[in-house]
Each structure stands twice: as structure tokens, then as C-alpha cells.
């Protein structure tokens, strides 16, 4: 059977929290992963302790390839504060570019669906900040993915903001940067009220990252992150999700990113292994 264009990836959010860079990497290895979301802050700290290149060597010793990271300034910051945070971000881009893996050149930026300012002002600010971020990242070959927020995670913020693939692509189109696209997370997509068909209809060629999760049944308008469950254990049309990612031209790692407190109580290796097996099953059914 030929290799599939997408494959399961490890995400440390799914397992017990508080583990070190070494411990998380060992869990990923022991669970049978060959690809992991890039823990760039952990890698930087590991290099500071053990010397330049030590983190890359450690991942290689565990047969792990890193892919995708976070670390940009908060996108809701005022423009002047955002600009002030870009030099530190650029250092992370330099670090990623020199890490030795071409596939770590993907940044993911979470974008709230409620802001402290009205939507028209928030849109102007988001376009400005993402444009500045994309310009900084482009100098190091880094692509930027907007991770839209679907669930009700910021109820105290007074103003709703765009969500879903449709909302994220409004920002992408307004910014007009070649290295700016979207991250599509199946749980965020569901909680945003969108169906998988919007992925390739609205974002063909612009999907730079993806996460796979399932959802408990219920009223998603009141969901937080705790309702996420393992792929195949919930109600989401995940086979269609993968098919539409493929139709949009996406290929590569698809981490299972859960924030379920009950799942996190389990043995980290067993939880990670379960996420890999169940993610791979969905991908194989969709693309096999």
C-alpha cells in the first residue's frame, strides 16, 4: 500500500501536563509516533542546558521529526505592542530555520472568536498584526497558519469576532501574504458551525496545518475544550474532514490535540498510543 499523504502526529496537549521536553519526546517515541508537533520552547530550553543542537539530536535519537509550532505574540495586542514583540519572535524563526528540519517552518497562531474591541476594529487589527507577522516570518522561510477558534472559550470578552474557515480566510485574503494561510482543527470547525466541505471550497491551497479531534454530543454553542474526545469516539464526520483536507491540497502531519481533563489522567504513553491508532484509522479510511 502506498504511503498516505497525511499521517498521525503527537501533540503534548493530549497527555498529562508538566512533563519535560525529554519526557514528552520519549512518550511520543514509546507510543509509536514518528512525527510530533514541535515544542519549540522546550527545545530552546534544552539547547540552553545541553548545548546548541542538543534538542535536534535528542529528537533524532527518538526517531521523531518535528512539525509546526507556536510562539508568536498574542494577535489581539495593540499594533505598537505587537510590533515590540516581533524581535523575540524573529529569534524563534531563526531557531526553527536552523533546527535542521525543513518541516518545522510552520507557525500556528490561535485567533480568539471574541475580542475586547468591536469586530470591524478587530478585523483591521488582525490584518495589520498578521501582515507584520507574516512579513517577519517570510524572511526565514516560515509559513503562518491562522487557527480560528470555534468553541465558547472567551465568554467574558464583550465582542464576537470571526471564526471558521470563512472568517480565517477573510483575514488571509485581506492581508494578501503568500505565506499566510489557515490551520483547520476538526473540533474548532464543528463548534464554528461549519461543515468539512468549506475547507476546499474556501481555502484550497491555503491550508497549511491541521488538527484532528472528535466531539461529544450536545449543544456545541456552550462547549469549551473539555468536550474533545479521541478520533472516532464522538460524532464528527472525520473521514469527510480528512477527504476535504486532501481536496484542499493539504498533506503532512495531523496531530490529535485534546484538552480533555479525564483523558489526561491516563498513562501518557497509553493515551498517546490511543490517539495515534485512532487518528491513523480515520486517515486510512479516508485516503486508503
Write out pLDDT tens, residues 12-52. Answer: 999 999 999 999 999 999 999 999 999 999 999 999 999 99
| Residues comprising the chain, all counted | 288
**Tens place of pLDDT per residue across the chain (288 aa):** 468 999 999 999 999 999 999 999 999 999 999 999 999 999 999 999 999 999 999 999 999 999 999 999 999 999 999 999 999 999 999 999 999 887 788 999 999 999 999 999 999 999 999 999 999 999 999 999 999 999 999 999 999 999 999 999 999 999 999 999 999 999 999 999 999 999 999 999 999 999 999 999 999 988 999 999 999 999 999 999 999 999 999 999 999 999 999 999 999 999 999 999 999 999 999 999
Q: Which residues pair with 142 in a beta bridge?
A: none
pLDDT reported for residue 56: 97
pTM: 0.96
Mode of pairing for the β-strands spanning 6-9 and 252-255: parallel
State the Cα angle at 27 between 34 and 88, rounded to 5°: 80
Contact in structure between 275 and 8 (CB atoms under 8 Å):
yes
Cell 499521517 locates to 7
Fold of 6-276: TIM Barrel (3.20.20)
What pLDDT, in 10s, does the model give residues 198-242?
Answer: 999 999 999 999 999 999 999 998 899 999 999 999 999 999 999
Please report, for residues 29, 32, 110, the alpha-carbon distance to residue 157 in angstroms, rounded to integers and kept in the order given: 40, 41, 16
- Terminal-residue alpha carbon distance, the chain: 8
Cα separation of 26 and 69, whole Å?
18
pLDDT of amino acid 103: 77
**Using CA atoms, how far apart are residues 64 and 260, in angstroms rounded to an integer?**
25
Angle between helices 268-287 and 238-247 (to 10 degrees): 60
Hey, what's the cell of 228? Answer: 474533545
Q: Domain ranges for the chain, please list them.
A: 6-276
User: Which pLDDT score is estimated for 1?
Assistant: 44
pLDDT at residue 270, rounded to an integer = 98
Helix ranges (H only) for the chain are 21-30, 40-50, 54-61, 79-97, 119-138, 164-175, 186-191, 198-203, 238-247, 268-287
Amino acid at each position: 500500500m502506498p504511503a498516505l499523504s497525511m499521517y498521525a502526529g503527537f501533540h503534548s496537549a493530549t497527555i498529562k501536563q508538566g512533563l519535560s521536553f525529554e519526557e514528552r519526546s520519549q512518550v511520543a517515541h514509546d507510543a509509536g509516533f514518528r512525527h510530533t508537533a514541535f515544542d519549540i520552547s522546550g527545545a530552546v530550553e534544552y539547547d540552553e542546558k545541553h548545548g546548541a543542537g542538543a534538542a535536534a539530536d535528542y529528537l533524532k535519537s527518538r526517531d521523531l521529526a518535528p512539525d509546526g509550532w507556536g510562539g508568536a505574540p498574542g494577535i489581539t495586542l495593540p499594533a505598537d505592542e505587537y510590533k515590540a514583540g516581533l524581535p523575540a519572535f524573529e529569534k524563534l524563526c531563526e531557531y526553527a530555520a536552523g533546527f535542521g528540519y525543513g518541516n518545522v517552518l510552520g507557525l500556528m497562531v490561535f485567533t480568539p472568536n471574541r475580542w475586547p474591541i468591536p469586530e470591524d476594529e478587530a478585523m483591521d487589527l488582525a490584518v495589520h498584526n498578521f501582515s507584520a507577522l507574516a512579513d517577519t516570518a517570510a524572511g526565514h522561510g516560515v509559513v503562518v497558519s491562522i487557527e480560528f477558534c470555534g468553541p465558547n472559550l472567551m465568554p467574558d470578552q464583550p465582542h464576537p469576532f470571526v471564526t471558521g474557515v470563512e472568517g480565517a480566510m477573510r483575514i488571509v485574503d485581506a492581508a494578501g501574504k503568500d505565506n499566510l494561510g489557515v490551520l483547520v482543527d476538526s473540533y474548532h470547525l464543528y463548534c464554528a458551525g461549519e461543515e468539512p466541505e468549506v475547507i476546499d471550497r474556501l481555502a484550497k491551497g491555503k491550508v497549511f496545518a491541521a488538527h484532528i479531534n472528535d466531539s461529544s454530543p450536545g449543544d456545541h454553542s456552550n462547549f469549551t475544550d473539555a468536550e474533545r474526545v479521541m478520533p472516532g469516539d464522538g460524532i464528527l464526520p472525520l473521514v469527510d474532514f480528512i477527504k476535504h483536507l486532501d481536496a484542499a491540497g493539504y498533506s503532512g502531519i495531523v496531530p490529535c490535540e485534546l484538552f480533555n481533563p479525564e483523558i489526561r489522567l491516563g498513562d501518557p504513553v497509553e493515551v498517546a498510543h490511543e490517539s495515534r491508532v485512532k487518528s491513523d484509522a480515520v486517515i486510512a479510511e479516508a485516503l486508503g
